[in-house]
Amino acid sequence: MKRMILRVGLVCLILLVACETEKLIEKPAGEINLRLEDMGEPYRLEREENLPGLVKLLDLEEAPGFLEANLRVFTATVVMTPSLVPSATRVIAAVLRCASSGGAQGALQEIRGNVEGGLRTQAGNLISTEDLKLEPSQVTEGELEVVFSRATVTTTAGLRGESYLLFFRRRNVLGFLVTAGPAGAFREEEVVALGRKMAGRVPLPPP
């Protein structure tokens, strides 16, 4: 009799765990993403896309698990010293909300591969990449996955361009930043600060 009770209790426990659904983050992507006021002068909003536009721009295979997305492109013209030559800079910021943590994790890897692959396709052997150390706690508190890297392009004329790539994921939400401009146009801490603004808007998952 005791064994039967234990078996019934074990079966009930297994069914309870199996039926438990993942607690998803439901905050809209557009409310999480960077805004023009986050960028400040002299940036302007050049382009904004939702899920179909993001999928097309990043050459993704749209999955049923993609719920919604927001992508914004900010541009500015800055004067670099000592040359004092005006240079164009760009920041691409995007947030994608998925139907599961696993879906968001897979999308993060696919997007990272496509972005880095696109840079290599454009620059060929002129590009070099390096991973940068960044602890999740430096971005925001709580459950967070972070990937941070820098890509440097050196032309045959000796000119150098630089891109920072910052990706983060909390549960079913992923966000990323890609900067582009001449070397020195962005500092690591500036990129991390922008990522902190985005990640800080992703609520902690419900218990």
* 158: confidence class by pLDDT, cuts 50, 70, 90: confident
Q: Which CATH superfamily is domain 24-199 in?
A: PknH-like extracellular domain (3.40.1000.70)
The pTM score is 0.85
Assigned token pair, 18 = 């199996």
Per the listing, tokens 């150098």 go with 160
pLDDT tens digit sequence for 97-130: 999 999 999 999 999 999 988 888 877 767 888 9
pLDDT-derived band of residue 82, with 50, 70 and 90 as boundaries? low
User: Domain coordinates of the chain in residue numbers?
Assistant: 24-199
CA–CA distance, 118 with 124 (Å, rounded to integer): 10
Q: Report the share of the chain in percent with pLDDT over 70.
A: 85
pLDDT of residue 20: 52
> Sheet holding 66-80: strands in order across?
44-49, 66-80, 85-98, 173-182, 160-170, 145-154, 127-131
Cβ atoms of 164 and 189 within 8 Å: the answer is no
The pLDDT tens digits of the residues spanning 29-51 come to 999 999 999 999 899 999 999 99
pLDDT at 146: 94
Mean pLDDT, residues 140-160 taken together? 85
Lowest mean pLDDT among 5-9, 31-35, 42-46, 135-139: 5-9
Write down the pLDDT at residue 175. 97
**Range with lowest mean pLDDT among 17-21, 40-44, 60-64, 101-105:** 17-21
Cα(183)–Cα(67) distance, integer angstroms: 36
pLDDT score, position 84: 56
